[in-house]
A and B are shown apart, each in its own frame.
Chain A
Amino acid sequence: MIPIVTNDVQEARTSTSGGPPVPTGARSGRGRLRRVLSLRWVSAKAWWGLAGVILFLLIWQWAGTNTNPIFFSTPLEVGRAVPEVLETGQLLSLYLDTMRSFAIGLVGSMVVGISLGILTGLHAPTRHLIDPLAVAAYSTPSLVMIPCFILWFGIGDAAKIALIFFSAVFPALVSTQLGMDQMGPLMRELGRSFGANRREMLTRIILPSIIPYCMTGVRLAVPRAFVAVIAAEMLITAQGVGGLILQYGNQFQTTFYFVPVILVVITSYVCTEVTKQAERRLTPWRR
C-alpha cells in the first residue's frame, strides 16, 4: 500500500492561530541571516517530528540488516540505489509524467467542482437534483471506476486523468455547496441593502465567503487525487512512478522499489503542507 500522508484537521486549526499581522519590513538583512542560522525558527514540534523520522530510519536500518533483503532492504542501501534508479529507471521523466497528469486532473476537477458548486448553490432545485448523486459519488471508492474508464478511454493518460478527476471533483463540489449553504441568505441581504448588482453580489459577497470552503475542498481532494494517479498508473497504464513501483515490486527488487515509494511519500507530504499553507495565506481572516 502506498502510504499517503493524510491531513490532521485538528492540527491545522491550532497551528493557524495568530494575532494581527506582524510588520516584517523593519528587520535588517544581517539580523535575519543570524536568525535563520540560529535555527530558532524551527519549532519544537518540528524537531520532534524530525526525531521521529530519524528514529524510524534507525529501526528500519536495524530491521533490514537482520532479515532477508527481499523483505525490507535498508535506508542506506536505498540511498545508494538512487543514482541507478534515476538512470536505468528514468525516474525523473516518469515523475514529471505522473505529476503532469496529477496537476491536470486536480486543476480540472477543482475548476469544475467549484463552479458547479456555486451554480447549484444559487439554484436550489438543481442543487437538490444532484445532491444525492454527488454525495453518493463522493463516498464511492473511486477505484471501482477503473474498468469502466478503461472501456471508455483506453489504457492511456485519458483514463488516468479521468480517474483523478472523478476522485477529486466531488469533494470540491460538496464543500463548495456547503459553503453556499453556510453563507445563507443574510449575507445576500446585506448586499441587496447596500445596492449590489448581480456581478458585485458574486464577486464581493458570494465568492469571498466560500473561499474557506473551497480551500477545504482542495485539501480533501489532494490526497484523493494522489491515490488516484498512483493507482491508475499501477492498474491502468503501467507507466509513470506508479508503473515503476509495480515493476520493481513484481521483480522483487525491493531496494529499487523503495526509491520511487519514498519519492511518492515525500511528494504527497509536500502537497499536503502546501495546501495547508495556501489555505492559511488565502484566508488570513480566520483564526
Chain B
Amino acid sequence: MSVNVKTQPVLQVSGIRKTYPGEAEPLVVLDDVSLTAYPGELVSIIGPSGCGKTTLLRIIDGLIPHDGGQVKVLDQVVDEPPTSIAVVFQDGRLLPWRTVVQNVEFALELQVHRRLNKQEKERAREFVDAVGLGNFMKHYPHQLSGGMQQRVGVARALARVPDLLLLDEPFGALDAQTRLVMQDWFLSLQRRYSLAAVLVTHDIDEAVYMSKRCVVLTRQPGRVKRVVEFELPDARDRQDVRSLPEFGHYRSQLWQLLRDDAISDAER
C-alpha cells in the first residue's frame, strides 16, 4: 500500500468520554479515547474485562450517547446507528426462532423494510455460503456449535455490506483450536471483502495475529494507554507469522502494557 496517498479514514473516534450513573458517584467508563481506522484495515482494541470495550463499540454504533468527544464514520458524525456499520455481538445474538439463512435474511429485511424478493433471498444464501455454512441453511442456531453460530453472526453482519465491521470478542467463547481456525477464516474473509474492522479482544495473541494496529486500554476509567503498530507481513493466515521473532516481541510488549491491570484483577 502506498503511504503518500493518505486515504480518508472510515472511522474517526476522538476524545470520547462516557460516564454511567453509579450508585454513589458517576462511574467514568471511558475517558479521552481516540482511534482511527482506514479502509481495509483491521484495528484491535485490547483491555482488561470491564474497561469499557463493549461500551465503546456501542458508542461507535450510535446505540448509546456519550458525554464528550466525537465519532465520525466516513466523515459523518454518528448519533443514530448508521447503515454503514455492522456489528458482530459478543454473545452472538442470533434470533433463535430463525434458521441460519433466515438470520441472514433478517439483515436484508431491515435494509429494504419489506419482504425480500427472490434475488435478495438468493443473496442471503450466498452470504451463508461465503461463511462456509451452505449445508446448514435450515438449521436453527441451537443446532449449531459455538463457532458455527459466530459464523452466522458474521454472515449476518456482512450481508449489510458495511463500510465498517465492529466485532466484540467474537471468538472469546470458543475453545482454543476453534478460535485459531476462526481467526484464519476471518482474516481471509476480511481480505476478500477488504473490510475495515474494529476487533475487540482480550486475547493478546489474537490482537497481534489479526490486526494492523492495537489500541491498549487501561481499566477504570478506560483510557488509551498506547497504540501499537504491528510491522508484520500481511496475509498472516498464509504464513507462519506466529513463529517470527517480531511476533514474540509484540506479544511481550502488549503483555507489559496489560500486566499491571491484569495483576490487580487477579488479586481482587
Q: Once the chains bind, are B143 and A20 in contact (CB under 8 Å)?
A: yes
CB neighbours of A285 from chain B (8 A): 96-98, 140-142
CB neighbours of B96 from chain A (8 A): 209, 285-286
Contact with B along A171-206 (1 / 0, CB 8 A): 000000000000000110111111111001000110
Q: Once the chains bind, are A195 and B83 in contact (CB under 8 Å)?
A: yes
Q: Once the chains bind, are B142 and A194 in contact (CB under 8 Å)?
A: no
CB-CB nearest 10 A-B residue pairs: A285-B140, A194-B110, A208-B97, A285-B97, A195-B110, A190-B93, A193-B87, A285-B96, A193-B81, A196-B110
B87 to nearest A CB, angstroms?
Answer: 5
Closest A residue, CB atoms, query B96: A285
In Å, the complex CA distance between A268 and B140 comes to: 33
B236 to nearest A CB, angstroms?
Answer: 29
25 A–B pairs (Cβ distance < 8 Å), ordered by A? A20-B138, A21-B138, A187-B93, A189-B58, A190-B89, A192-B63, A192-B81, A193-B85, A193-B86, A193-B87, A194-B81, A195-B110, A195-B111, A200-B109, A200-B113, A204-B110, A205-B95, A208-B97, A208-B98, A209-B95, A209-B96, A211-B97, A283-B97, A285-B140, A285-B142
Q: Does A287 have its Cβ within 8 Å of any Cβ on chain B? A: yes
CB neighbours of A19 from chain B (8 A): 143
Q: Does A284 have its Cβ within 8 Å of any Cβ on chain B? A: yes
Interface size of B as a range: 20 to 34
CB neighbours of A284 from chain B (8 A): 140
The chain B residues found within 8 Å of chain A, CB to CB, are: 58, 61, 63, 81, 83, 85-87, 89, 91, 93, 95-98, 106-107, 109-111, 113, 138-143, 160
B135 to nearest A CB, angstroms?
Answer: 11
Q: Once the chains bind, are B106 and A195 in contact (CB under 8 Å)?
A: no
CB neighbours of B106 from chain A (8 A): 194, 204
Q: Once the chains bind, are B110 and A20 in contact (CB under 8 Å)?
A: no
A121 to nearest B CB, angstroms?
Answer: 18
Closest A residue, CB atoms, query B87: A193
In Å, the complex CA distance between A191 and B106 comes to: 10
Closest A residue, CB atoms, query B82: A195
Q: Once the chains bind, are B97 and A209 in contact (CB under 8 Å)?
A: yes
Most buried by B among A190, A191, A192, A286: A190
In Å, the complex CA distance between A279 and B89 comes to: 30
A6 to nearest B CB, angstroms?
Answer: 28
